[in-house]
Amino acid sequence: MANNDRGDKLKILFVAAEVVPFAKTGGLADVAGSLPQALALMGHDVRVVMPKYRSIKGEFVNLTDFPVAVGERRETAVLRRGAINASGGETILEVPVYFIDNYHYFDRDSLYGYYDEAERFAFFSKAVLEMLPRVDFQPDVIHCNDWQTGPISLLLKEQYQANPFYSKMVSVYTIHNLQYQGNFESSALKLLGVGDEYFQPERIEFYNLVSFTKCGLVYADVINTVSRTYAQEIQTAEYGERLDGLLRKRSRDLFGIINGIHHSEYDPGNDIYICSKFGPENLEGKRPNKQALQQEMGLPERDVPVIGLISRLVDQKGLDLIAAVMDQLLNKDIQFIVLGSGDRYYEQMFQEARRRYPEKVGVFIGFNAPMAQRIYAGCDLFLMPSRFEPCGLGQLIALRYGTIPIVRSTGGLADTIQEFDPITLAGNGFTFKEYNPKAMLEAIERAVQLCTGQPELWRGLLKKALSADYSWARSANSYVDLYHLAVEKSKNRAKSP
């Protein structure tokens, strides 16, 4: 992609099912909360839209309400408006956030996992398109993220673009995790308001189901995912989740852009959740956080390497590798701290490890953002042995807090973490390639040895981690390039007969 320095400002609608600080289950929410800020600070008119879940509290402005047809139902979308504050240097501005509210679909305990998921997100997708004339916003680009927003690309291209209000809009579809696809019974066609002719493999049928992901992958003007390596991997049968054929077909429109993190939200020099602030000029400030964390987790305050793991507890995250060598790992003179929730099996596995090694293992099952920050700050090492990883934010946040990642080299982990070389001092972590427990254990051993046996090298590595830039500075530009490319492509398509 060409470097974007054109100065022309875009109008961007950023659509996501979860957005920090309003709702979060994983990395998508971090991206949706921080990338729009970076774009706004570059001068673009960017607005965010998401569902208004029950858990979202706050004073929002009521804008309007309007009808949305979902199959036979005629539902009402209530539109509210809030904001995210973006600050950079001297500039402080507000990124508008629209909330699509509907009591029936979104006033529930959790964000996802309901019997009528197709209906909920068909409603959301349609409501997003329907709201635009009502708020008088004509974006150049609608940026859709993951399957919940896929129908927007489909409906924009196949229905709404016929209307002059929408005719110039393009859509970009970002894959944050190809494993979550939104596949539903064929009755979902009616919910989307499209005919049976869409139920074929070239369109949105996927093994006799309707795929909301395919709505995005087939109909968006350009597609991207959140690292270059994952963009390559998903074009193979091993990582492609049975969509690799389609992705290969669209390979000219498929890009990889690594995520950034929000430097001021994750800032060890200014973090309200940690007991002692630190940074590249104050490495010593990290130590009290380790002691506080050991206390919080009920572990003895010993000066041994503390390894953290903060994760959704699902197969993707490589937890079976840990299971296979749990005893070997815990026979080392280390401590291991786990924060996560997900599959019962893994929750119990870590609780059982805690029961058997109470002096070495700390476990908190649940989702707890402040505790996550204390773990990032208090650990020495951060373990991420993922089977696949589109980008991964944990390793970047860990580095930001001077906690050195041990990762499997896949997807975004391969693009962000390189093995530390004690001779050249290149690299920023510890890596292994083969998906097997022995390779993981060896990487952990290298990390532990450096941490305990080479204090000078360790301090250097720590300082390097704390000094590096993981912000959106680079990648936000790549997104602007991507948006321009989508606009160009769509113009060219319109010209060609």
Residue selected from 304, 397, 404, 413 as contacting ligand ADP according to rule CB under 6 A: 397
**How many residues form the binding site for ligand ADP (CB under 6 A)?**
19
Chain positions 331 to 350 lying near ligand ADP, rule: CB under 6 A, are 339-341
Helix (H, G, I), strand (E, B) or coil at 38: helix
Residue whose CB is less far from ligand ADP, 129 or 293 = 293
Helix (H, G, I), strand (E, B) or coil at 289: helix
Residue corresponding to tokens 């270059």? 228
Task: Compute the least distance from the CB of residue 75 to ligand ADP, in Å.
Answer: 30
Residue whose CB is less far from ligand ADP, 101 or 265 = 265
Residue 23 as a binder of ligand ADP (CB under 6 A): the answer is: no
* Cα–Cα distance, 382 to 368 (Å, whole number): 17
Residue 12 as a binder of ligand ADP (CB under 6 A): the answer is: no
Task: Compute the least distance from the CB of residue 453 to ligand ADP, in Å.
Answer: 29
Residue whose CB is less far from ligand ADP, 160 or 401 = 401
Residue 393 as a binder of ligand ADP (CB under 6 A): the answer is: yes
Residue whose CB is less far from ligand ADP, 35 or 189 = 35
Residue selected from 179, 232, 351, 368 as contacting ligand ADP according to rule CB under 6 A: 368
Task: Compute the least distance from the CB of residue 49 to ligand ADP, in Å.
Answer: 20
Residue 377 as a binder of ligand ADP (CB under 6 A): the answer is: no
Residue 406 as a binder of ligand ADP (CB under 6 A): the answer is: no
Task: Compute the least distance from the CB of residue 391 to ligand ADP, in Å.
Answer: 6
* Cα–Cα distance, 254 to 175 (Å, whole number): 10
The side-by-side arrangement of strands in the sheet containing 205-206 is: 183-184, 209-211, 205-206
Residue 30 as a binder of ligand ADP (CB under 6 A): the answer is: yes
Residue 392 as a binder of ligand ADP (CB under 6 A): the answer is: yes
Residue 415 as a binder of ligand ADP (CB under 6 A): the answer is: no
Helix (H, G, I), strand (E, B) or coil at 413: helix
Q: Tokens at residue 108, please?
A: 């529930």
Cis peptide before 390 (omega within 30 of 0): no
Helix (H, G, I), strand (E, B) or coil at 127: helix
The side-by-side arrangement of strands in the sheet containing 404-408 is: 361-365, 335-342, 306-313, 381-384, 404-408, 430-432
Residue 378 as a binder of ligand ADP (CB under 6 A): the answer is: no
* Cα–Cα distance, 442 to 445 (Å, whole number): 5
DSSP per-residue string spanning 177-241: -TT---EE-TTHHHHHT--GGG-STTTTEETTEEEHHHHHHHHSSEEEES-HHHHHHTTSTTTST
Residue selected from 17, 310, 326, 443 as contacting ligand ADP according to rule CB under 6 A: 310
DSSP state of 419: B
Q: Tokens at residue 96, please?
A: 């508008």
3-state helix, strand, coil in the chain (%, to 5): 40, 20, 35
Task: Compute the least distance from the CB of residue 468 to ligand ADP, in Å.
Answer: 17
Residue 348-367 contact track with ligand ADP, rule CB under 6 A, x = bound: -------------------x
Residue selected from 362, 394, 411, 437 as contacting ligand ADP according to rule CB under 6 A: 394
Task: Select from 95-103, 119-127, 291-299, 393-401 the region that touches ligand ADP (CB under 6 A).
Answer: 393-401
Residue 233 as a binder of ligand ADP (CB under 6 A): the answer is: no
Task: Compute the least distance from the CB of residue 241 to ligand ADP, in Å.
Answer: 14
DSSP state of 279: B
Q: Which residues bind ligand ADP (CB under 6 A)?
A: 26-27, 30, 177, 310-312, 339-341, 367-369, 372, 391-394, 397
